[in-house]
Amino acid sequence: MALFLRGSLSKLKLQIPRNCMHMMRALVPSEKDPNTARHLSPAEGLKLVDMDVPQVGPEQVLVRVKAIAINRADILQRKGLYPPPPGVTQVPGLECAGEVAEIGPSCKRNFKKGDPVMAILPGGGYADYCVVDESNVIHIPSKFGFEEAAAIPEVWITAFQLLYWIVKVQPEEYVLVHAGASGVGLAAIQLGSKCLKSHVLATAGSQRKLDACLQYGALKAFNYKLQEPSISDNVKTVSSHGVHAILDCVGASMWNENVKSLREDGRWVLYGTLGGAKLKECNLATLLGKRLSFYTTTLRGRSREYKTNLVKDFEEKVLPRLVDGTCVPVIDKVLQGISGVAEAHAYVEANANIGKVVVKWA
């Protein structure tokens, strides 16, 4: 694969448009050493390059990218803290919306050139084109534009996976969703309250974010920055025995409160470590005493078969609820052009966003 350096995000206005139809623009991390990369600003940490348009495999689709959405994993990859799985492009980007540009010869689904689609990706979204297994591509419903569609795949499929596949929430159960105003959090709140008919409690770090959690269906929302009352004490005022399930992207800093918040036979899924990955101490007897089930998951590195089945199930059970308005993708802001990626990263990194931040790529 040919790679030609063009410059940092701070110099995008100086770039000369490319003329070769076999080349594309892409953003890649500018520093491979994580000890250095983690200290670079968003504008310094990504560089614009020209590279070959990826080749389409037999069961893949080439997508001309129109919009992307920012994920925490993109920021970690930029900092050198979350390398892509083996064999996956160094170009960040876990979701996109765009148009079908080419279809592999063995594709069996009903895609044709020019179709508006959205997709979950193992990487590659920060580019003019990306390739994706056809099973991970979804037709964009006519009610959504590219910007709205870009805000759906990664967070909504993740929330669906957590609630439906892993902790398997049932009607009338109590669920605690950490980082409730995040993209995954607001999707989970809506799925839990409106589709599964469960009682959703949420945590967030500001009144603005707490209000958003309540607006989209949370029964109660608690500020995790307040030491008194504790999260577990707040939970017990709503459900005296505790919650049935917890969706946890925080990790170490919430470990003890999670144990206290769960009722006997509760289910707890860890899908991120924003609050730290290492525990100073852990008494496993507290989990045994309540017979808690503890799960961990990431979506990016899952097998092709797993993702195929997950996306199919999502299309059947959740996409219709997005189409009929039962659930809605929540977008905080839309930024224009590749130069908007640095601002988008800085905004998300500052924990300022409610829902998704989208960049209109083209």
**Alpha helical stretches, state H, the chain:** 34-37, 42-45, 72-78, 146-150, 153-160, 183-190, 207-215, 231-238, 255-261, 285-290, 304-317, 319-323, 340-349
- Mean pLDDT of all residues in 337-341: 95
Alpha-carbon gap, residue 211 to 138, rounded angstroms: 32
Q: How confident is the model at residue 7 (pLDDT cuts 50, 70, 90)?
A: low
Using the CB atoms, write b or e for 297-315: b if 16+ within 10 Å: eebbebeeeebeebbeebe
- Mean pLDDT of all residues in 207-216: 99
Helix, strand and coil percent figures for the chain, each rounded to 5:
35, 25, 40
- Mean pLDDT of all residues in 345-349: 96
Tell me whether strands 137-139 and 116-120 are parallel, antiparallel or unpaired.
antiparallel
Report which DSSP code applies to 193.
I
**Backbone torsions φ then ψ of 359, nearest 5 degrees:** -115, 125
> Quick one: CA dihedral 9, 15, 17, 22, positive or negative?
negative
Query: Which one, of 221, 182, 208, lies nearest residue 356 by Cα?
Result: 182
E-state strands within 20-152: 23-29, 46-52, 60-69, 95-103, 116-120, 129-133, 137-139
Q: Are 300 and 72 in contact (CB under 8 A)?
A: no
Amino acid at 202: A
Q: What share of the chain has pLDDT > 70, as a percent?
A: 94
pLDDT in tens, 286-336: 999 999 999 999 999 999 999 999 999 999 999 999 999 999 999 999 999
**Alpha helical stretches, state H, 219-337:** 231-238, 255-261, 285-290, 304-317, 319-323
For 298, what's the count of Cα atoms within 13 Å in the CB-facing half-sphere?
12
The residues with which 120 forms a beta bridge, in sequence order, are: 95
Residue with tokens 């089930």: 293
pLDDT in tens, 252-265: 999 999 999 999 99
pLDDT in tens, 10-35: 444 434 344 445 899 999 998 777 77
Alpha-carbon gap, residue 107 to 186, rounded angstroms: 34
Q: For the chain, report the end-to-end CA distance as a whole number of angstroms.
A: 23
pLDDT for res 130: 98
Q: How confident is the model at residue 9 (pLDDT cuts 50, 70, 90)?
A: low
pLDDT for res 8: 52
pLDDT in tens, 87-141: 999 999 999 999 999 999 999 999 999 999 999 999 999 999 999 999 999 999 9
Q: pTM for the full model?
A: 0.93
Output the six-digit token pair for 25: 């623009």
Mean pLDDT of all residues belonging to the chain = 93
Q: Work out the number of other CB atoms within 10 angstroms of the CB of residue 258.
A: 24
- Mean pLDDT of all residues in 60-83: 96
CA 16 to chain CA centroid, nearest Å: 32
Query: Which one, of 143, 70, 151, lies nearest residue 347 by Cα?
Result: 70
pLDDT for res 12: 46
